[in-house]
């Protein structure tokens, strides 16, 4: 019996070691559809070369050159592409056939990658699969004891969804082309394939129009992309297997159009570029023929500039106030039997759809455009809930999910990761209806981002969304996701993304000095407030002129330190008997936090940007003290004063409240320590 039990334990141990082993063997994000790790590794030295076979394709050739440059960057080793015989090459690539002239939704993106100790083979039906496979290879490269190496593995990979997008709002804050390019590099690294370019808003019209030049001349403060730049970005994206879809939001979110063309609006002008955030009254006049003439000209020009099949017309958040207040519009609605502003917007959408179709594009819009009167060719992007995605699919429309993927809301990665386009309301759809769900998009709305901090709001969390959209639905292990997210985040550094690197200069600016050790200790455990709380707690009305130089702008959306601390506390509370090391780590962190406020005080004198942070620093110190006394009680079993627990918990509650628009993310774990210590009988403790 005892032997049997021993055998079972040994079996379990072996299995768990094997599991850990296999997880360690593959660090990619997204996780491939199927993979089998081997035991050896392929060493990459300076003799490494690539050989291209099969269909000759310029995109694959350029992709291979970039791959070698990237590998060289990752390893610090000069690598030149000596055109090697395929039998001698470290990596042999085979492409079966070419891809579409203009990248299309649903093209084959699959690839096979086999790495053995003597070399690697990558094969794919189309160049798109090759590009993805090269990214997988780059993610697999590790520093090993014998050199840089890729672990042996056999991968067969393909995406779960055909549409894996990232939307960037370049209107509320203008985002320069080079920043977009590096983010396209990030997208390619995690196999995202649609860049949704939100180009117009109340706060800015960001693209040159040659036909209607007052749009960018008067609507952009001079911050717009020329058409040459747009073509450059589209080519850059195409080289990386990414489609580019422009969005021109209408009939609302359109004040910047009216600065140059007030006659488009539903109320008399003049108009100015909007500086505040929110939903505003100006909207296009759907009752005037000249509106559609204008849109025909504009959409025609843009349809020729953007090669992709899809054309986004926005359609969200029309408050209808200008329509309500305009007697001519009211009369139009009466004479056409329209009962509501929704009816009027549906009429507008129908007219716009005809124009979009005339220019040979497929219309896509936010879920407000959903109306059974519209042709089934349109696509719905669901942002207000998963319900609208399912509803669209039931009505015969194709759809994308963005509800749950709003990365401006500062959610932790696990929360986005838990959102699945096929779950929730979509779970009960028929197989045919499910076919209409194309995928999803992460959305980077830009009220609070600048070129300096935008990468840190997009990465690494978008990699978790990318995995949700690429990997099989049963890839759900949050711990594995976080392990790999850390690795992919470092990998993205090599691509020139600044999500990690921008932290330091931003902290030095706030500190006003080189010594940021105390500020860093604090910054590492705070996160910006969540959802729309930043608006609600703003010290003054935020605008596009508001500086983005505070702790809330530098702090990462998700504190790794806080997550690790919570894991330590959880492990400690659940298995106290065997946790000396864990206890020591917890104590070290709490001590550092307790002592940080003293280090912080002298620094505050040197910078106005630190003043608002002092109370947060004091709360952190108080949390450190409270956590340490909880730990003492847990360890020593001393009798606690009667009021101790209530006092500590009141302190924790204060610390949980946002201050300076940041949240102290270690408060819940300190609370758990206090509650655990209060639950322990003093006399029975060791």
In the bound state with ligand ACM, the residue whose beta carbon lies nearer, of 342 and 570, is 342
Closest distance of CB 429 from ligand ACM, Å: 23
In the bound state with ligand ACM, the residue whose beta carbon lies nearer, of 287 and 382, is 382
Distance of alpha carbon 281 from alpha carbon 119, whole angstroms? 62
| Residue 383 binding ligand ACM, by CB under 6 A | yes
Closest distance of CB 368 from ligand ACM, Å: 8
Distance of alpha carbon 344 from alpha carbon 331, whole angstroms? 12
Closest distance of CB 408 from ligand ACM, Å: 9
| Residue 316 binding ligand ACM, by CB under 6 A | yes
- Tell me which residue of 522, 511, 470, 472 sits closest to 605, measured CA to CA: 511
In the bound state with ligand ACM, the residue whose beta carbon lies nearer, of 243 and 312, is 312
Report CA torsion sign: 83, 85, 86, 88. Answer: negative
Closest distance of CB 248 from ligand ACM, Å: 13
| Residue 535 binding ligand ACM, by CB under 6 A | no
Closest distance of CB 383 from ligand ACM, Å: 4
- Position with the least CB separation from ligand ACM: 316
User: Which two three-digit tokens encode residue 477?
Assistant: 């292990």
Distance of alpha carbon 528 from alpha carbon 247, whole angstroms? 28
* 420 three-state secondary structure: coil
Backbone angles phi, psi at 604, to 5 degrees: -65, -25
Do 488 and 176 form a contact (C-beta atoms < 8 A)?
Answer: no
User: From the candidates 107, 317, 433, 452, which is the catalytic residue?
Assistant: 317
Beta bridge partners of 165: 194, 441
DSSP 8-state symbol, 163: E
Backbone angles phi, psi at 200, to 5 degrees: -140, 150
Distance of alpha carbon 191 from alpha carbon 400, whole angstroms? 17
In the bound state with ligand ACM, the residue whose beta carbon lies nearer, of 161 and 366, is 366
DSSP 8-state symbol, 640: P
In the bound state with ligand ACM, the residue whose beta carbon lies nearer, of 441 and 619, is 441
Closest distance of CB 406 from ligand ACM, Å: 7
Closest distance of CB 447 from ligand ACM, Å: 11
- Tell me which residue of 192, 247, 200 sits closest to 219, measured CA to CA: 200
Neighbours of 144 (CB within 10 A): 13
Q: Is 317 a catalytic residue?
A: yes
Closest distance of CB 522 from ligand ACM, Å: 32
Do 660 and 613 form a contact (C-beta atoms < 8 A)?
Answer: yes
Q: Looking at 108, 296, 301, 317, which residue binds ligand ACM (CB under 6 A)?
A: 317
Do 153 and 136 form a contact (C-beta atoms < 8 A)?
Answer: no
In the bound state with ligand ACM, the residue whose beta carbon lies nearer, of 383 and 405, is 383
In the bound state with ligand ACM, the residue whose beta carbon lies nearer, of 151 and 252, is 252
In the bound state with ligand ACM, the residue whose beta carbon lies nearer, of 317 and 632, is 317
Distance of alpha carbon 618 from alpha carbon 614, whole angstroms? 6
* 375 three-state secondary structure: coil
Residues 6+ apart with CB under 8 A from 7: none
Closest distance of CB 649 from ligand ACM, Å: 37
Q: What does the CA dihedral 616, 405, 564, 598 come to, rounded to 10 degrees?
A: -10
Give the x/- contact pattern for ligand ACM in 33-52, rule: CB under 6 A. --------------------
Number of H helices, E strands in the chain: 26, 18
The residue written with tokens 């006659």 in the block is 263
Binding residues for ligand ACM, rule CB under 6 A, total 4
In the bound state with ligand ACM, the residue whose beta carbon lies nearer, of 362 and 388, is 388
Residues 6+ apart with CB under 8 A from 669: 562, 565, 566, 568, 569, 570
Interaction site with ligand ACM (CB under 6 A): 316-317, 366, 383
Residues with catalytic roles: 317
């Amino acid at each position: 019996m005892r032997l049997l039990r021993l055998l079972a334990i040994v079996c379990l141990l072996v299995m768990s070691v094997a599991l850990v082993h296999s997880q360690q063997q593959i660090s990619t994000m997204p996780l491939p559809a199927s993979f089998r790790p081997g035991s050896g590794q392929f060493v990459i030295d300076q003799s490494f070369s690539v050989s291209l076979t099969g269909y000759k394709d310029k995109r694959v050739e350029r992709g291979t050159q970039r791959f070698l440059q990237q590998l060289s960057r990752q390893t610090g080793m000069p690598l030149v592409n000596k055109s090697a015989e395929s039998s001698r090459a470290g990596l042999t690539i085979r492409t079966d056939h070419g891809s579409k002239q203009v990248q299309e939704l649903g093209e084959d993106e699959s690839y096979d990658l086999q790495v053995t100790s003597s070399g690697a083979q990558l094969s794919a039906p189309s160049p798109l699969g090759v590009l993805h496979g090269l990214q997988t290879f780059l993610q697999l490269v590790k520093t090993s004891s014998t050199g840089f190496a890729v672990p042996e593995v056999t991968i067969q990979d393909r995406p779960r969804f055909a549409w894996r997008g990232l939307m960037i709002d370049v209107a509320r804050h203008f985002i320069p082309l080079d920043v977009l390019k590096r983010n396209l590099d990030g997208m390619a690294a995690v196999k995202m394939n649609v860049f949704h370019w939100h180009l117009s808003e109340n706060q800015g019209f960001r693209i040159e129009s040659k036909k209607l030049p007052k749009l960018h001349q008067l609507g952009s403060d001079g911050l717009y992309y020329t058409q040459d730049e747009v073509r450059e970005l589209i080519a850059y994206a195409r080289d990386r297997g990414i489609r580019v879809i422009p969005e021109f939001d209408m009939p609302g979110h359109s004040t910047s159009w009216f600065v140059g063309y007030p006659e488009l609006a539903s109320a008399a002008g003049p108009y100015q570029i909007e500086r505040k955030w929110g939903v505003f009254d100006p909207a296009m006049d759907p009752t005037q023929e000249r509106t559609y003439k204008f849109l025909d000209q504009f959409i025609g020009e843009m349809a020729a500039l953007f090669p992709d099949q899809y054309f986004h017309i926005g359609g969200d958040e029309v408050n209808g106030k200008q329509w309500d207040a305009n007697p001519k519009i009211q009369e139009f609605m009466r004479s056409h039997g329209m009962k509501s502003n929704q009816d009027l917007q549906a009429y507008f959408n129908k007219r716009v759809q005809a124009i979009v179709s005339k220019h040979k594009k497929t219309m896509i819009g936010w879920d407000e455009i959903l109306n059974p009167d519209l042709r089934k060719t349109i696509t719905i992007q669901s942002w207000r809930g998963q319900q609208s995605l399912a509803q669209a699919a039931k009505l015969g429309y194709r759809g994308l999910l963005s509800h749950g993927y709003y990365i401006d809301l500062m959610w932790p990665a696990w929360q986005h990761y838990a959102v699945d386009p096929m779950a929730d309301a979509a779970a009960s759809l028929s197989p045919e209806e499910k076919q209409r769900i194309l995928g999803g998009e992460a959305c980077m709305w830009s009220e609070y981002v600048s070129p300096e901090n935008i990468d840190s709001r997009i990465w690494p969390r978008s990699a978790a969304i990318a995995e949700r959209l690429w990997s099989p639905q049963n890839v759900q292990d949050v711990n594995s996701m976080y392990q790999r997210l850390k690795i992919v985040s470092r990998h993205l550094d090599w691509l020139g993304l600044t999500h990690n690197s921008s932290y330091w200069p931003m902290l030095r600016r706030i500190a006003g000095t080189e010594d940021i050790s105390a500020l860093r200790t604090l910054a590492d455990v705070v996160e910006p407030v969540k959802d729309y709380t930043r608006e609600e707690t703003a010290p003054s009305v935020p605008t596009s002129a508001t500086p983005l130089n505070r702790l809330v702008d530098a702090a990462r959306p998700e504190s790794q330190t806080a997550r690790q601390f919570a894991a330590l506390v959880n492990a400690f509370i659940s298995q106290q008997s065997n946790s000396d090391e864990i206890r020591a780590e917890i104590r070290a962190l709490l001590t550092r936090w307790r002592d940080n406020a003293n280090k912080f005080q002298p620094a505050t004198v040197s910078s106005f940007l630190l003043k608002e942070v002092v109370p947060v620093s004091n709360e952190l110190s108080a949390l450190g003290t409270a956590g340490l006394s909880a730990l003492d009680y847990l360890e020593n079993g001393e009798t606690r004063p009667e009021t101790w627990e209530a006092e500590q918990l009141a302190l924790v509650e204060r610390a949980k409240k946002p201050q300076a628009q940041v949240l102290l993310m270690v408060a819940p774990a300190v609370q758990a320590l206090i509650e655990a210590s209060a639950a322990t009988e003093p006399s029975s403790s060791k």
